[in-house]
Amino acid sequence: MPGTHPPAAVSPSTADDEYFYSVLNLPKAASDHEIRERYRQLSIVFHPDKQTDERRKEAATERFLEVQKAYEVLSDPVTRYVPFSSTPPPATHAHVPFSRAYDILGSEGLLLVQSADFRHLAEEDFERELRRQQRELVRQRVDQAVHPRGNLTIGLDASPIFDYEYEAEDGSPLSRWQNLQAALGDVRRDTFGVRHRVQTQVRDKTWLTLSSRLTMGSRPNSRQGSYIKPLLMGTPSAYFVQATTNLLAVSGVSLKGTYRAADYTLTCQTGLHPAVLLQPFTHRKGDAFLLPAGTVSLARQLFPKSPMQGVLEIGMTAIGPKISAAVTSSAFHDSLDIGELRDDEPSEPTAFRAPSVSGLAFYTSEWQFGFDLAGPASGLNGRYGLSFHELGVHLQAVMRLGLAELMWLFGGEWRGNNAAVGANVSASTGGVTLRVDATYFGQTLTLPIVLSREHNNSLAFWTAVLPSTALALVYYFRVRPRRRKQRIQFLHDARRQLREEKSELLRQWKETVSLLQDTAQRHMRAEETCDGLVILEARYGPSEQEEGTEGLEVDVTVPVQALVNSSQLYIPGKRSKAGIPGFYDPVAGVPKTLRIRYKFRGRMHYAEIPDYMPVVLPLKDHLVE
């Protein structure tokens, strides 16, 4: 039996969060007795002392150690509690089970348990805290990826091209070409801005952010002409609170506090003016009291196993009270079924995936719908977005129907490793604006271009449609053919590596199959005697029989025969079958299927089971007429 010490560095050789269950071929709901019994059976089969041939002994040793590690993680939590320090904590919080962490989050749960302190938690709060820490890690990764460090904004006013009709000196209208030439001469730069942001950690959980901004521009239809607005902001943040103030002028302090729990987030924000600080609730500005503005928002998960959230915000603004409510949700979609995606957990794109032909196989959809009650600014608003992770493309559509105006926005962004390019067009009663953003190593160039200062839905429509059509044609005639070539090359490389670089893997697989041979033959003889479940052939490989997949199927007939018991075969789902003894992954990042041809009661059956689906044999649906 394995020792009672915790695994020092438990990291399964696959990204599958149920890999250890797959090694023992048990469902997650398996009892402690079933885990011990399966460990005992496999230990007998793979025990090194039972082998005489050195090559088979080496393969048996590796499988024996793998089975032993799986048992150490999954065995009875009562005997697998792991203390986190030499100082004895309270009896009710003394230990944290590795097996529970693995059941909840897989290999990432084991790493979190080993790196964090859970001693202060009661047993019933362990899962909630574990998931909260995982969400915090995901949030930090996203925050680090999307916050730019510098921004240069150059605004252009191109409205003369679409708004003005020029005339000659005698008052006659100009031709279209002459009108365009005259309008191009009136296109001007109306804004120029530079912004930079620096953030440093002062102490544990305390950060200081300095952001500088210089804006120069002109006010259209205004007698005040041009303006220059410098700004230097300082924002210290500690734990859940941050404060922001203008370091160049005494203009007050903006305070923001955020508290995150397992299923809700509470945010409070207010701005304090010096006059209000000196004479709170009594300072007047004209005939009105100058009251501190502020908002309180609560975002809460609406259902236990759903990503849908409700957001309620109540605040006081310069024009009066404001109430906002919204419902938002997001979902992950994987048409290739590389692995299981769970709606009740934050998720990220799979670390490694083979290139798909379309590039649209794995994507995220998100939507939001809500309303605002704020006097004349009241209205309905909605947003819908799609993120195609393989292509690095994000598309977004926004619409707002207010009492005073109708506004809509449509845009997209492409993001690579260190660069991003995006554009969007927005239309409202105030005009049409095209905004272009380009980012490289955290430095962003923004070009807001005013196309019209009048309501012009036709101009906004064609501004959005023409570039979108061009990009769709580039995708269909350029991107798709290139990705198809990349996929075929990837499959060819996988087959070559399997023959050359992974020869040791193939040797171990052959030795494992030979170790299971006696068990498989014994089971099949028993099934033939009672006219039961007889496995004729089983192959494990890519789901799609496409160009490049030749030679990437694994013959798993013997391992599957060894799993038959009492004319039944059961393999749990929701995890890859590559961890079952006698299986291996012939090509990573590609969806796989287990194909089984078998006889039951003397009649032929055939089944194709996707990798993450459970295997239950025999079934009437598999009967071959």
* Segment 381-425, tens digit of pLDDT: 999 999 998 888 999 999 999 987 889 999 999 988 778 999 999
Question: With the C-alpha atoms ordered 180, 181, 182, 185, is the resulting torsion angle positive or negative?
Answer: positive
Beta bridge partners of 195: 151, 213
Specify the pLDDT at position 177.
Answer: 87
Task: State which residues form the domain around 571.
Answer: 503-622
Neighbour-count burial for 126-137, b at 16+ CB within 10 Å, e otherwise:
bbebbbebbeee
Lowest-confidence segment of 114-118, 320-324, 440-444, 456-460 by average pLDDT: 114-118
Model-wide pTM > 0.85: no
Contact 396, 385 (CB under 8 A): yes
Does some domain include residue 14?
no
Could you report the per-residue pLDDT of 85-95, keeping only the tens digit for each? 333 333 333 34
Does the residue 53 lie in any domain? yes
Last residue within a domain, chosen from 84, 119, 140: 140
Domain-embedded: residue 78? yes
pLDDT band at residue 65 using 50, 70 and 90 as cut-offs: confident
Domain boundary (140, 171, 188) is at: 140
Give the mean pLDDT of the chain: 79
Most confident option among 320-324, 445-449, 491-495, 542-546: 445-449
pLDDT at 356: 84
What pLDDT, on the 0 to 100 scale, is given for residue 352? 65
Say if 405 falls within a structural domain: no
CB count within 10 Å of CB 208 equals: 15
In a domain, 51, yes or no: yes
Question: Would you state the pLDDT for residue 278?
Answer: 53
179-217: per-residue pLDDT in tens? 888 888 888 888 899 988 877 767 777 777 778 888 887
CATH number of the domain that residue 70 is part of: 1.10.287.110
Exposed e or buried b per residue across 513-541, where buried means at least 16 C-beta atoms within 10 angstroms of its C-beta: bbbbeebbeebbeebeeeebbbbeebebb
The confidence band for 618, taking pLDDT boundaries of 50, 70 and 90, is: very high
380 pLDDT band (50/70/90 cuts)?
very high
Higher pLDDT, 207 or 242: 242
- DSSP per-residue codes, 87-122: S---GGGS-EEHHHHHHHHTHHHHHHHHHS--TTS-
Kindly state the tokens that stand for 508.
């171990």
Question: Would residue 192 count as lying in a domain?
Answer: no
Asked which of 140, 163, 186 is the last residue of a domain, the reply is 140
**Nearest residue to 161 (alpha-carbon basis) of 431, 491, 553, 564:** 431
| CA distance linking residue 599 with residue 534, whole number of Å | 5
Between 293 and 57, the higher pLDDT residue: 57
Q: Indicate the length of the chain as a whole number.
A: 625
pLDDT (tens digit per residue) in 143-192: 554 455 788 999 999 988 888 888 887 778 888 888 888 888 888 888 89
* Residue 221 CA: distances (Å) to CA of 164, 218, 407: 15, 9, 22
Q: How far apart are CA 318 and CA 303, in angstroms?
A: 35
Q: Quote the pLDDT of residue 304.
A: 82
Domain membership of residue 519 (yes or no) is: yes
On the question of pLDDT at 369 being above 90, the answer is yes
Q: Which two tokens mark 48?
A: 């090194």
pLDDT tens for 278-306 read 555 444 545 444 556 789 999 998 888 88
CA nearest neighbour of 410 among 427, 387, 429: 427
Q: What is the mean pLDDT of residues 220-247?
A: 69
114 against 194, higher pLDDT = 194
User: Do the beta carbons of residue 231 and residue 216 sit within 8 Å?
Assistant: no
Query: Does 482 reside within a domain?
Result: no
Residue 53: what pLDDT? 80
pLDDT of residue 274: 63
Which has more pLDDT, 377 or 129? Answer: 377
State the total domains in the chain. Answer: 2
Model confidence over 303-356: pLDDT tens digits? 888 889 999 999 987 778 899 999 999 988 877 655 544 444 433 444 467 788
Distance of CA 370 to the CA centre of its chain: 24
pLDDT computed for residue 224 by the predictor: 53
Q: Does the pLDDT value for residue 476 go beyond 90?
A: yes
- Hey, how many other C-beta atoms are within 10 angstroms of the C-beta on 354? 19
pLDDT of amino acid 212: 83
The amino acid occupying position 114 is: Q
